[in-house]
Structure 1
């Protein structure tokens, strides 16, 4: 169950990052509320995952999901560069997260 919580935490982290950009563009209260809820849920599920998983593993995977997911959302939603080098390094981050799961 801890790994499920960790993936949920990463997904909410991605949503929070997307809401930062939305708040920057729109400057409305709904974006601020969604940003706060997304990061709050992210920290909640991260704390639940860390009840079982080691802190270093949980944090590394959480930040990996958030960073790579945020980059992918930027490409899909905001037209950011889809250069093969960016995709390659995003794949490396995700591979490292899978590797940590395999050795934990």
Structure 2
């Protein structure tokens, strides 16, 4: 269940960065409220996730989901560039996140 909390926290990070962009430097109250709501809920879920997920792994996955999602939002909705190198490095970030999920947890048999 804590991995679900972590994934949800990552998606909320995408939400708060997108709301931050749309808030027009926090002058649009609707998007500013969305930013505050997303960031508070995101921190709540990442905090719950770290109850069983190692802190370093949780932080890397949380920020990785947010970074990848925010870049994709920029490409899809804010006309940011989508060149080869940008996509290449986003792909390597995704592979790193997957690697942390499957290889970053200590084995129960190791102890």
TM exceeds 0.5? yes
Instruction: Please give the root-mean-square deviation of Cα atoms over the aligned residues, in Å.
Output: 1.2
Query: What TM-score does the superposition give when structure 1 sets the normalisation length?
Result: 0.96
Determine which structure has the larger helix proportion and give its number.
1
Question: 2:73 corresponds to which residue?
Answer: 73
Structure 2 segments unaligned to the other structure (5+ residues): 106-111
| 1:5-84 correspondence runs (5 A) | 5-24=5-24, 27-84=27-84
Tell me how many residue pairs correspond in the alignment: 104
Contact 2:7 2:62 in 1 (8 A): yes
User: 1:101 maps to which residue?
Assistant: 101
1:37-59 deviation line (CA, Å, top 9, x unaligned): 01111101100100110100000
Structure number with bigger Rg? 2
Normalising to structure 2: TM-score of the pair?
A: 0.90
Q: Secondary structure at the match of 2:23?
A: helix
